[in-house]
Structure formats: C-alpha cells, structure tokens
C-alpha cells in the first residue's frame, strides 16, 4: 500500500495501435456492427458502374437521346469519379469499396493513361498545319490573325468564316500566305501552291467542306477542310447529332475515294475520336493528337476546354511528330496545330 504523501507507481498504458484518421483500429466494426467488408456497398456498386461504362461504352445505345455519343464525347472525364469515390471510401472506411475502385482505375489507365504523357517525337518535321474554328462571333479578329501568322504554320484551315470577317482574314493573312481558297464558310491558306479545289457535299444544303490539292516541297497533298454540323444537348430529344452523323458519313466516303496517297483532314468535327458516330472518318485516319500530342489537347470551349472536337488527322503514311493547342484568342475554340514529316 502506498504511504500517505507519496505517488502510487502505475504501469503506463501501451500506445494505441493504428490510431489516427485512417488507423487500423478505425477499420473494425462500426456502431451498427458492420465490418469494413460490409460497409460502403453502394460506393462499391458505383465503382463497378463506372468500370462498366468505361469498358462497354460502345454498347450504350444511341436509340434514346444519343446517350452513347454523349458519353463518348466526355468519356475521359469519367476518371474523375475515381478520386471522388476513393475519398468517400476512405471516409466510410470500406475495404470493399477500395477494392472495387481498382476496376475503374485500371480501365481508365488502359484507355487514357497513354494520353497523359508527352508523345511528341521530338524530331524535325517538314511542315506545320493549324486548324481553327475562328467563330462567327469572334471578339478579336485582329488578334486571331496575329496568332495564326505567328504560329509559323505553312498550312492554315479556318472554319466559321462569316460576313465582313472573311475579308479581314483574307487581307490579314495575305502577306504570310500567298495562296488561299474559300468555299462557303470554310477556308484554306497556304505558303505552298493550291491546285484543284472542289466542294465536298455534306448533305446540309450549303458548303461547309472542300478538298484542295496542295503542292508541298515533298510532294502532293490532298487537304480536306471540314466543319461538321453542330450538336445540341436538349431537355427534349437528348443529344441531337443526326445531321452531324449524316455529314460524317458523307465526309468519310469522300476521303475513302481520295486518289492522292497523302491526305490531311483539318476541321471542327463537333465530336471526339471516341465518338462511334464519327467512325466513317476516324476509322480510316490517324489523329495527330493521339499519336504525338502532350496531354488530351482539349479544344472546346476555350474558356474551360472539356473535349477535343477540333481535329487534325492524316492517312497515307504522314507521320505526326508534334501536336498541340495554341493560345486562346477571340474564338470559343482553341486553335490546334500539328507538325508532320512527309
């Protein structure tokens, strides 16, 4: 017995194991008796759903509101669900949800992991091309012209040329690009001679695409400039893409029938490489961004790019060595550029 006025010696308690927010002692049963494997089942189900959408996006039907094309337009953004669900799984302390999250994480990495890195070849190219939807409501046409001239591109394709702005582009680009052709609301400017020019019928009733033969120092090049119909997301009808899909088929047919071996397609396709409805075009052409870009290269909307709908594509052995977006100007699209080896 301890004497009065003295302090009783006590054996210090051992430190708690696994303390802290994510400590192991927090991963046992909760107040309701559920174990870490029984908690977070809803989170696990959501993780599996994201994985299924990534793995089988091509099976999502377009019959109702073109949901399949809408999903595929913004498919890379499904990856944001992984960190959100991860945070929720940690807060819920659910081992089941964490395990389920491995599925969407692995699938997203397989689909898009390669796009996160810089894929540019770093080698020398023969010439650079730029494609830009300059927007009918462009708020800074002179600035857009300065950016195009300053890009150093040898070939420039523009879409949505309208009204008096067309004359401004023709005048402003004439010094740097002695050759140009305009059909409807799309145009091509080049440092190299432009030969035969012919409209491409997109089945719209007016011209928004054409083919031109450009004579580069390395040889002939067939250049297609196109602006496919716009798409809309409506409360009634969903993702309206019918006219765009018809035009995509017409453009794909024209490119398939091309007689020149080396072919470039420059334009606003109002769709991404993931969108199945653009398969008549994308199935036969190679994306410069996918082959030689740095990151996803989203081009629209310019204020906060969320999708790559402005495309530079090729076939016939042209090799992209670099692909990038250019600085924002007065358009609601970012200009896109690519350098090629002939």
pLDDT digits (tens, 9 = 90+) for 249-271: 999 999 999 999 999 999 999 99
Read off the pLDDT of each residue in 102-127 and give the average, rounded to a whole number. 92
Backbone angles phi, psi at 163, to 5 degrees: 55, -140
Sign of CA dihedral 53, 59, 64, 66: positive
Least confident of 9-13, 261-265, 322-326: 9-13
Residue with the larger pLDDT of the pair 10 and 28: 28
Exposed, middle or buried by CB within 10 Å (0-12, 13-18, 19+), for 205? Answer: exposed
Least confident of 27-31, 47-51, 183-187: 27-31
CA separation, residue 243 to residues 72, 202, 339 (Å): 18, 9, 31
Strands 127-133 and 336-341: antiparallel
Q: What is the mean pLDDT of the chain?
A: 90
**Using the 8-state DSSP alphabet, how is residue 34 labeled?**
-
Report the alpha-carbon angle 193-197-200, nearest 5.
145
pLDDT of residue 237: 47
What is residue 335's three-state secondary structure?
Answer: coil
Task: Round to whole Å and give the CA distance between 255 and 210.
Answer: 11
Read off the pLDDT of each residue in 58-67 and give the average, rounded to a whole number. 83
pLDDT of residue 233: 60
pLDDT of residue 290: 94
What are 161's two structure tokens? 């040329």
Percent of the chain with pLDDT over 90: 78
Task: Give the residue from 299, 284, 294, 280 showing the smallest Cα distance to 322.
Answer: 294
Q: 14-28: per-residue pLDDT in tens?
A: 444 444 445 555 677
Prior bond to 301 cis, omega within 30? yes
- Residues forming a β-bridge with 182: 187
Read off the pLDDT of each residue in 293-317 and give the average, rounded to a whole number. 96
What are the E-state strand segments in 109-231?
A: 127-133, 155-159, 179-183, 186-190, 194-199, 209-216, 219-227
pLDDT of residue 2: 46
Our CA dihedral for 134, 135, 138, 144, rounded to 10 degrees, sits at: 0
What are 228's two structure tokens? 């496919």
Backbone angles phi, psi at 144, to 5 degrees: -65, -45
Taking the model in full, what pTM does it have? 0.86
pLDDT-based confidence at residue 47 (cuts at 50, 70, 90) = very high
Task: Round to whole Å and give the CA distance between 200 and 250.
Answer: 8
Q: Is the pLDDT of residue 130 over 60?
A: yes
Segment (H or E) for 211: strand 209-216
Q: Residue for token digits 């009808």? A: 237
Domain ranges of the chain: 26-116, 127-341
Q: Is the pLDDT of residue 32 over 70?
A: yes
What lies within 8 Å, CB to CB, of 126 at 6+ separation is 216, 217, 218, 340, 341, 342
Q: Are 77 and 285 in contact (CB under 8 A)?
A: no
Read off the pLDDT of each residue in 226-237 and give the average, rounded to a whole number. 72
Q: Which CATH class is domain 127-341?
A: alpha beta
Q: 180-224: per-residue pLDDT in tens?
A: 999 999 999 999 999 999 999 999 999 999 999 999 999 999 999
- Residues forming a β-bridge with 104: none
Read off the pLDDT of each residue in 282-298 and give the average, rounded to a whole number. 96
Q: Is the pLDDT of residue 312 over 60?
A: yes
Q: Is the pLDDT of residue 158 over 50?
A: yes
Q: Is the pLDDT of residue 292 over 70?
A: yes
């Amino acid at each position: 017995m301890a004497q009065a006025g003295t302090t009783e010696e006590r054996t210090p308690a051992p430190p708690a194991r696994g303390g802290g927010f994510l400590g192991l002692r927090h991963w046992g049963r909760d107040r309701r008796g559920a174990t870490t494997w029984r908690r977070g089942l809803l989170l696990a189900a959501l993780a599996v759903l994201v994985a299924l959408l990534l793995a089988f996006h091509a099976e999502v039907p377009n019959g109702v509101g073109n949901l399949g094309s809408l999903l595929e337009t913004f498919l890379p953004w499904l990856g944001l669900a992984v960190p959100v669900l991860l945070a929720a799984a940690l807060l819920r302390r659910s081992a089941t949800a964490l395990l389920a999250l491995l599925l969407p994480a692995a699938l997203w990495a397989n689909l898009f992991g390669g796009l996160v890195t810089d894929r540019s070849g770093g080698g020398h190219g023969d010439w650079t091309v730029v494609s830009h939807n300059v927007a009918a409501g462009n708020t800074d046409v002179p600035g857009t012209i300065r950016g195009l001239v300053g890009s150093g591109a040898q070939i420039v394709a523009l879409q949505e040329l309208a009204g008096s702005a067309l004359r401004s582009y023709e005048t402003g680009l004439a010094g740097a690009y002695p050759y140009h052709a305009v059909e409807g609301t799309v145009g091509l400017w080049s440092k190299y001679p432009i030969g035969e020019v012919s409209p491409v019928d997109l089945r719209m009733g007016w011209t928004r695409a054409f083919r031109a033969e450009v004579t580069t120092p390395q040889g002939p090049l067939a250049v297609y400039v196109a602006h496919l119909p716009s798409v809309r997301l409506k409360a009634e009808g969903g993702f309206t893409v019918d006219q765009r899909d018809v035009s995509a088929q017409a453009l794909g047919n024209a490119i398939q029938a091309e007689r020149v071996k080396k072919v470039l397609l420059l334009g606003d396709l109002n769709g991404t490489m993931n969108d199945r409805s653009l398969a008549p075009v994308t199935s036969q052409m190679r994306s410069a961004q996918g082959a030689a870009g740095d990151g996803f290269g989203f081009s629209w909307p310019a204020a906060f790019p969320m999708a790559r709908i402005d495309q530079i594509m090729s076939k016939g052995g042209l090799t992209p060595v670099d692909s990038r977006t250019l600085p924002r100007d007065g358009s609601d699209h970012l200009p896109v550029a690519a350098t090629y080896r002939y």
